[in-house]
Homo-oligomer: A and B are copies of this chain.
Amino acid sequence: MAGTESTLRILRRLLASGLTARAERLLARLHPADLGPLLSALTPEETRTVIDLLFRQHRAADTLRELPPELLPQIFEALGDERIAQVVARLEVDDMLEFVERLPEERREAIEALLPEDKRTELEKARLYPEQSAGRLMTTRFLALDEKMTAQEAIDTIRASGDDQEAITYLYVVDEKRHLRGVVPLRRLVAAPPERTCAELMIENPIHVRAAADQEEAAQLVARYNLLAIPVTDDEGRLLGVITVDDVIDVITEEATEDMYHLAGLHDEDRVFSPPTAAMRQRLPWLLLNLGASFLVAYVIGIFERTLEQSVALAFFMPMVSGMAGNGGIQSLTVITRGIALGEIEFSSGLRAVAKEFGVAVGVGAVTGVVAGALAWLWQGNPFLGVVLAAAMLVTMATAGILGAAVPLLLKTLGYDPAVGSGVVVTTLTDLFGFAFFLGIATFMLDRLA
């Protein structure tokens, strides 16, 4: 947001001079989504004052809701238990859950005890759903209509429900046991003759998701069928809540970040603004795993010590063989991982996808291998070195293509996240195989190379 820096400066000056009334007016003019970046840059003292001012405007909850959740702990530190509880109590249950989970362990109980009874019950009920499930993402504030209601009665119900509800686009029709029967788009309700019943107006058997389903499933349904909201039911088909499209956008963005992060071996909470010590702790395991893998690779190279001694020029080209195969493997891996996430594998099949990646890898391996071989020959003046390099690149890149495609598909089939660990497995295996092949055929042709 342009102007954040200057707004921040003004806000700080007002706070420092004790001009809280003017600071309050400034805050009132900003959208909750634009307040987040400001808030993250304040000192604890300033944060406290700003949250107090926002709370008076009934906007503290909305503002904190817009912050990246990774930033919440820093805000919580600046606030007292009382204030946090007051803010949490004003949130929808899905956001309430997210917040409470970010609270420091040692304060959580105390803050929850300060919540009103009904909020505590709501929270407890939501906790019964598995993490990252549709049940945790849904709002329980929605309007359910009776099948026998007329369009006019439905409109009267909406009028009576007040204006503070989340944007309603669909109205859900339930039977006397709260089983989901259908959906009436608000637009259709408005256009309908007033005496028409909901049963006549509704779209039957609407697309819905079970509360225990993964939030990703809910997001995919909304995206696939271009919905603005999706009803959530229990296993018996009773309506429990509604997931709105703004939450779906968050899930889609989050899942894309996770895929990207997992390919690079990053922890989900390792963000631009997260503290360096946390980032270090989170990156070390992956890097140590990679280190272990490189010792394995070093060991394999060590087997060919005599070969390297006799033709040290081979060492110049080692990074080329592993680098090219690594790049090719990551390309296949990225296409397949993203294809799985987007459901594009539906348009192909696992085996066809692996075969295609293999074919592509052979093609690009042949071209780059021949180019590399020719250049190596020219440079080192030894045609045999060129042949060894070309052959090694072709074979290693072909292997990388298969592995890049097969590893994520295999992980997926076994029920794991296809992106987690794929990178290190693919690059380590191609390195091992690539160096063994390159140095192996070099050993075989050593009298021509040395």
Q: Determine which residue in A284, A318, A372, A435 has the highest number of CB atoms from chain B within 10 A of its CB, and name it.
A: A318
Contact yes or no, B252 A334, CB < 8 A: no
Asked if A443 is at the interface of the complex by the 8 Å CB criterion, the answer is no
Q: Tell me whether A431 and B345 are in contact in the complex, defined as CB-CB below 8 angstroms, given that A223-B249, A257-B338, A335-B271 are known contacts.
A: no
Residues of B within 8 A of A245 (CB): 228, 245, 249
Contact yes or no, B298 A356, CB < 8 A: no
Contact yes or no, B225 A33, CB < 8 A: yes
Asked if A31 is at the interface of the complex by the 8 Å CB criterion, the answer is yes
Contact yes or no, A260 B347, CB < 8 A: no
Contact of A266 among B256, B334, B346 (CB under 8 A): B334
Interface positions, chain A 179-232, Cβ under 8 Å from B, are: 185-191, 222-226, 228
The 0/1 profile, CB within 8 Å of B marked 1, for residues 421-443 of chain A is 00000010001000100000000
Stretch of A97-105, A115-123, A325-333 at the chain-chain interface: A325-333
Asked if A319 is at the interface of the complex by the 8 Å CB criterion, the answer is yes
Contact yes or no, A330 B159, CB < 8 A: no
Contact yes or no, A364 B283, CB < 8 A: yes
Contact of A256 among B223, B253, B271, B359 (CB under 8 A): B253
Number of copies: 2
Asked if A79 is at the interface of the complex by the 8 Å CB criterion, the answer is no
Q: Tell me whether A320 and B294 are in contact in the complex, defined as CB-CB below 8 angstroms, given that A191-B163, A245-B245 are known contacts.
A: yes
Residues of B within 8 A of A261 (CB): 334, 338
Q: Tell me whether A68 and B347 are in contact in the complex, defined as CB-CB below 8 angstroms, given that A167-B185, A334-B266, A364-B287 are known contacts.
A: yes
The 0/1 profile, CB within 8 Å of B marked 1, for residues 220-259 of chain A is 0011111010000000000000000110110011001101
Contact yes or no, B301 A319, CB < 8 A: yes
Residues of B within 8 A of A320 (CB): 291, 294-295, 297-298
Contact yes or no, A1 B312, CB < 8 A: no
Q: In the docked arrangement, what's the CA distance between A246 and B245, Å?
A: 9
Stretch of A106-114, A126-134, A272-280 at the chain-chain interface: A272-280
Q: Tell me whether A159 and B190 are in contact in the complex, defined as CB-CB below 8 angstroms, given that A335-B266, A345-B272, A360-B279 are known contacts.
A: yes
Q: Tell me whether A335 and B265 are in contact in the complex, defined as CB-CB below 8 angstroms, given that A223-B253, A297-B319 are known contacts.
A: no
Total chain A interface residues with beta-carbon distance under 8 A = 113
Residues of B within 8 A of A288 (CB): 367-368, 371
Interface positions, chain A 146-201, Cβ under 8 Å from B, are: 155, 158-159, 163, 165, 167-169, 185-191
Contact yes or no, B317 A298, CB < 8 A: yes
Residues of B within 8 A of A305 (CB): 312-313, 316
Asked if A23 is at the interface of the complex by the 8 Å CB criterion, the answer is no
Q: In the docked arrangement, what's the CA distance between A261 and B36, Å?
A: 30
Residues of B within 8 A of A40 (CB): 347
Contact yes or no, A360 B276, CB < 8 A: yes
Contact yes or no, B249 A324, CB < 8 A: no
Asked if A353 is at the interface of the complex by the 8 Å CB criterion, the answer is yes
Q: Tell me whether A360 and B246 are in contact in the complex, defined as CB-CB below 8 angstroms, given that A294-B323, A319-B298, A372-B291 are known contacts.
A: no
Q: In the docked arrangement, what's the CA distance between A228 and B298, Å?
A: 55
Residues of B within 8 A of A328 (CB): 283, 287
A369 to B, closest residue via Cβ = B291
Asked if A315 is at the interface of the complex by the 8 Å CB criterion, the answer is yes
Contact of A260 among B253, B259, B276, B283 (CB under 8 A): B259
Asked if A375 is at the interface of the complex by the 8 Å CB criterion, the answer is yes
Q: A317 to nearest B CB, angstroms?
A: 6
Residues of B within 8 A of A277 (CB): 363
Q: Determine which residue in A37, A283, A284 has the highest number of CB atoms from chain B within 10 A of its CB, and name it.
A: A283
Asked if A302 is at the interface of the complex by the 8 Å CB criterion, the answer is yes
Q: A192 to nearest B CB, angstroms?
A: 8
Q: List 7 A-B contacts (CB under 8 A).
A: A266-B331, A272-B353, A280-B360, A280-B363, A280-B367, A284-B364, A297-B323
Given contacts A37-B346, A169-B187, A288-B371, 6 further A-B contacts (CB under 8 A): A252-B256, A257-B338, A271-B344, A287-B324, A295-B372, A312-B312
